[in-house]
Structure 1
Amino acid sequence: MAASLKLHPDRALPAGDRQRTIAREILSQTASLPLICMHGHLEADALAANAPFADPAQLLVVPDHYVTRMLVSQGIRPEALGVPRVDGGPVETDSRAIWRLFCANWKLYRGTPSRYWMEHELVDVFGVDVVPSEQSADAIYDQIAGRLAEPDFRPQQLLDRFSIELISTTDPATSDLRQHADLATQGLDKRIIPTFRPDAVVYLDRPTWRADIDLLADVTGIATDTYAGFVAALRERRQAFVAAGGLATDHGHLSADTTPMRTAEAATIYATALAGPVTAAEVARFAAHMLFVMAGMACEDGLVMQIHPGVLRDHNDGVFAAHGQDKGFDIPVATEFTRALRPLLQAYGTDPRFRVILFTVDETVYSRELAPIAGAYPSVRLGAPWWFLDSPEGMRRFREASTETAGFYNTSGFVDDTRAFASIPARHDLFRRVDAGYLARLVLEHRLSTDEATETAIDLAYNLPKLAYERRS
């Protein structure tokens, strides 16, 4: 007989009785608040089409690199998990077989945030009440598949089910935003908004860079065969995102460097890239320069700037060549912020038109660099624990390392960072629980009253994300 699966009401709350009791009281005031999801990676076309999800494996396993990377780390090939190949080569297409493989390896997720999110999804979203295993896999698959076939389990209907008030997609600078126009005709343009992501066109060594700047020219009607034209096209595209309701830009650079160049020097490097290969140093300098340029544009159009450096993308060349980006082989690297951001902050750090939210996966910089920066510059907010730190322990360490210098109100509140639609409520739930526990400790230490702690928890869960992403001009 399969073991039962239940969600404990005190999951992720403190172990001590007194602290847990206070945390429960705080959590009760935030648990039902609407979700503000301003760092999402759902596909705009899926939201616009509002078609049923394919099946349990294609929803919960195949596209989720948190899930697949754990299985791959144990020697299971991506092809066996149905992860598509770039060359269209053979991969497992039997979703039931993929699901069985996932369930048979359920124990691998013990102690991980993936286990927390997946349990929440299985129980709260799909009504599953047995632990995944080789024996229970088919029954769970059938139950989830049955729910996915119901009309109220389509993407747009899940916005209501999950109490999502606002959600952003992340869209390349070259997007024509056609799907968002479609969403606008459905009356969803105030609820589902785009986020401008220009990485592909500011990194001169990307394999698709030339094709992308040509596409940028096509979508804007502005020639990108010169640096001046390139910058003008980016400025036009940002305006299109603003018109579509966008509130933010998103910058996933390797380094946080924001050192600007003279316009003539930037134009020379851009022309070199058009003519042929550029050096790694030129690529890095141009990317840093473009972060500075984008900050200036943010002062003009009011889009909030999100910077999340410090990840060496596609660490394994073979996996990248076979399966493409975002397949679980992105690895954090040490990241310096203080000197790297100084040019940008010298120029715009006290400008009331500017807002930048800083994320990191290098938690050693929270107390040394990021909290002091956010605690000094009025334009800066410290982003929530992101990616590898999006976990119970990572969230607790974030609060302990950053609060005493930045406070609570120089942070962005929680913003989920996921392509896994069904995990969104679980991620917000976990953050609210960890915050409730941390705030309960401050109450026990007589550093906050219960009323203050509750007000702070509500602000972190709901009010601060709205304020952090509010248009600045």
Structure 2
Amino acid sequence: MTVHPDRLFPADPATRDVARRLYAEVATAPIISPHGHVDARVLLDDEPFPDPAALFITPDHYVTRLLHSLGVPLDQLGLGPGADTARRDGRAIWRLLCTHWDAFLGTPVRFWFESELAEVFGLAEEPSEASADRLYDELSARLAEPAFRPRALFERFNIDVLATTDDPADDLAAHLALREDQNFAGRVLPTFRADRYMTPGTAAWAPALDALAEASGIDTGSYAGLLDALRSRRAFFRAAGGTATDTGVLSADATPLADVEAERIHLGALAGEISEADAAAYRANLLYRFAEMSVDDGLVMQLHAGVHRGTHRPTLERFGPDTGHDLPAVGAYTLPLAPILNDFGTAPGFHLVLFTVDETLFGREIAPLAGFYASVYAGAPWWFLDTPLAIGRYRAAVTDTIGFRKTSGFIDDTRAFCSIPARHDMSRRTDASFLASLVVTHQVSEDDALGIARRLVGDQPREVFKL
């Protein structure tokens, strides 16, 4: 298997030559990954990956959701009850991918796979139904080698910073152990994600409060106690190296409540008595309080709004969340975030990074907001939009308004460890192509474009995420 050195570059020879030079400047730059979902324990334990399916397929909902759309049941992909490592058939899962290899043509997943298989694992043969077993055996042999253990790959990928996503009740034992490990030089930082404390009335809410109380030593039976517990855990995350929080909500409504009203809803929810309107008001109030806390403690606030979670109830009930059935919603930020922006939008040190899966929102609201408020940054194209074409549209949508300094830098947002360098490479190639188009149309000089390219992979994410 080979990958073309000019993939994703412009067809026009003059523009392509500029893109090549820009890309060469950043191709081997260290990777800064300020938002992702790799488990820190993978690097702490440094055990060989179990098999190719466990590495490439099962943890990656980009892969499993498309295979599911072609009629492959999720349980055949290693998901759901009984799909533990001892019982799942990695070879059979790998065969399913190879059988449907052509389904990924034209998708970013195909780009990532080809980069991983050719450049990381050195495979010469392309996946197919006929080659599936040979490739599985070849990959399995590679994974047994010390050079393909997690820490060796972390170093080979040239990852400088890797952020994880963690519940406030997490003890962060793996993060703390990695910080003390003299044999590990990388930075693996926790990210504080408190979504499940925003959902009173759901079955998971009260147990989450109990876990938070145990972790913090603070009674969460009251609204005031919940806020104190969250503040305590945020301080714990900061001490463990964390620089950011993350919040995922359907609506960005951030209307604050009076403490007495929030307390009423909190106690009512614990008693099993809460309306949908009260639950929505409680979520909006907590979003405001999270911003308030970020102003106080300096943690960067990432906001991912506008996703319908768990849209297929049978799949949610059988396989759980994050299994491919979350779908985009129409987004809005300007009016919903008005309480936060009016009170904190110009607060010194406050960083609010806005993400969306509604790409019309980039030019319509996110870039204009970032173009006024010092606190607001346009988050990178995320999830359904982290594709070459969508990244190009993002740059076209926001650059006229905010240039490059008010963008976040690339976000890989992945659970699939080996896809990290492929995803960053895709972004670097796409940005090089966009910058080359500005150079050949004499909007920026090539020297300035080189500076921007370097900044987008280095200083920009470091400054935005306070790294």
Question: Fold conserved (TM > 0.5)?
Answer: yes
Which residue in the other structure is 2:331 paired with?
335
2:74 to 71, 75, 78: 78
Partner of 1:17: 13
The one-letter code sitting in structure 2 at the alignment partner of 1:444 is: V
Matched residue type, 2:137: D
Give secondary structure in 2 for the equivalent of 1:320.
helix
- TM-score with structure 1 length normalisation? 0.96
Query: Which residue does 2:450 correspond to in 1?
Result: 454
CA displacement at 1:90 relative to structure 2: 12
Cα displacement string for residues 229-287 of structure 1 (whole angstroms, at most 9, x for unaligned residues): 11000000000000000010000111111111111111111111111042222222111
Given that 2:252 and 2:336 are in contact with CA atoms closer than 8 Å, whether structure 1 keeps it comes out as yes
Alignment CA distance shift 1:198-1:328 (3 Å): same
Render the CA deviation track for 1:119-148: whole Å, top value 9, x for unaligned: 101001111111100111111111111111
Match of 1:380 among 363, 376, 379: 376
Q: Aligned residue for 2:215?
A: 219
The residue type paired with residue 290 of structure 1 is L
Structure 1 counterpart of 2:135, from 130, 137, 140? 140
Distance 1:28 1:296 in 2: 42
Equivalences for residues 1-400 of structure 1 within 5 A: 5-85=1-81, 93-187=88-182, 188=184, 191-400=187-396
Q: Distance in 2 between matches of 1:89 and 1:216?
A: 28
* In structure 1, distance between residues paired with 2:101 and 2:79: 19
Change (3 A) 1:115 1:253: same
1:436 and 2:432 matched? yes
Compute the displacement of 1:383 (Å): 0.6
Asked if the contact 1:255/1:310 (under 8 Å) is kept, the reply is yes
Preserved contact between residue 82 and residue 91 of structure 1 (Cα < 8 Å): no
Cα distance in 1 for residues equivalent to 2:372 and 2:200: 34
Give the superposition deviation at 1:89: 9.8
Contact 1:395 1:431 in 2 (8 A): yes
Secondary structure of the structure 2 residue equivalent to 1:172: coil
Matched, 1:423 2:394: no
Q: Distance in 1 between matches of 2:132 and 2:114?
A: 14
TM superposition shift of 1:59: 0.7
Shift of 1:205: 3.6
Secondary structure at the residue paired with 1:171? coil
Q: Distance in 2 between matches of 1:321 and 1:90?
A: 21
Say if 2:464 is the partner of 1:468.
Answer: yes
Question: What SS class does the counterpart of residue 457 from structure 1 fall into?
Answer: helix
d(CA) in 1 for partners of 2:201, 2:301:
23
Question: CA shift at 1:46, angstroms?
Answer: 1.8
Q: List per-residue Cα deviations over 1:33-56 (Å, max 9, x = no partner).
A: 000001010012222211111000
Contact in 2 for aligned 1:375/1:407 (Cα 8 Å): no
Paired residues in the alignment total 466
Report percent identity of matched pairs. 47
Deviations 1:84-135 (A, max 9, x none): 32x7799972111110111011000011110000110100111111110011
Aligned mates of 2:85, 2:30 — CA distance in 1: 42
Q: Shift of the alpha carbon at 1:399?
A: 0.4
Structure 2 SS opposite 1:336: coil
Is 42-51 or 424-433 further displaced after alignment?
Answer: 42-51
How well do the aligned residues superpose, as a CA RMSD in angstroms?
A: 1.5
Q: Which has the larger displacement, 103-112 or 272-281?
A: 272-281
User: Which amino acid in structure 1 is aligned with residue 197 of structure 2?
Assistant: V
Residue 189 of structure 1, CA deviation: 8.3
| Closer/same/farther in 2, CA of residues 229 and 263 from structure 1, 3 Å limit | same
Residues 101, 127 of structure 2: 8 Å contact kept:
yes
Classify the secondary structure of the residue corresponding to 2:333: coil
Q: Is the 8 A contact 2:78 2:84 kept in 1?
A: no
Give unpaired runs (5+ residues) of structure 2: none
Give 1:260's aligned amino acid: P
Q: Indicate if the aligned counterparts of 2:179 and 2:187 stay in contact, CA closer than 8 A.
A: no
In 2: Cα distance, 1:452 partner to 1:89 partner? 51
Question: Quick one: distance in 1 between partners of 2:55 and 2:80?
Answer: 14
Query: Runs of 5+ in structure 1 lacking a partner?
Result: none
Following superposition, the deviation at residue 299 of structure 1 comes to 1.5
Counterpart CA distance in 1 for 2:318 and 2:263 is 35
**CA contact under 8 A between 2:159 and 2:186: conserved in structure 1?**
no
3-state SS in 1 of match to 2:189: strand
Q: Does 1:411 align with 2:415?
A: no
Question: Per-residue CA shift, 1:148-187, capped at 9, x if unaligned?
Answer: 1111222222211100000011001111112212212214
